[in-house]
Amino acid sequence: MKLLYKIYHHYAYKVSKKITKPGLRADYVVDANGHVLPYVFFSGGQMALHAEALQVLETAKRSHQ
């Protein structure tokens, strides 16, 4: 079962700033039925977290303690 989450842009906040560009890498998984499931993922690159994202993480951490 595949879940799809729709998040409106006004609920979003900046997470990070790209320092160096990541590359895209292709790979695949073969499931139990023998189906080949290709996918692409980011590899490498660097980013710096924005202060707003760090604040959200700190708030979440405090609420779970």
Q: Which of 1-5, 48-52, 56-60 has the lowest mean pLDDT?
A: 1-5
Cα(59)–Cα(23) distance, integer angstroms: 32
Give me the residues paired with residue 8 across strands.
none
Give percent above pLDDT 70 in the chain: 100
**Is residue 31 pLDDT above 90, yes or no?**
yes
**3-state SS class at 20:** strand
Closest by Cα among 40, 4, 1, 3 to 22 = 40
| Gap between the Cα atoms of 56 and 63, Å rounded | 11
Contact 63/39 with Cβ under 8 angstroms? Answer: no
Domain residue extents for the chain: 19-63
pLDDT at site 29: 95
- Report the pLDDT averaged over residues 2-25: 86
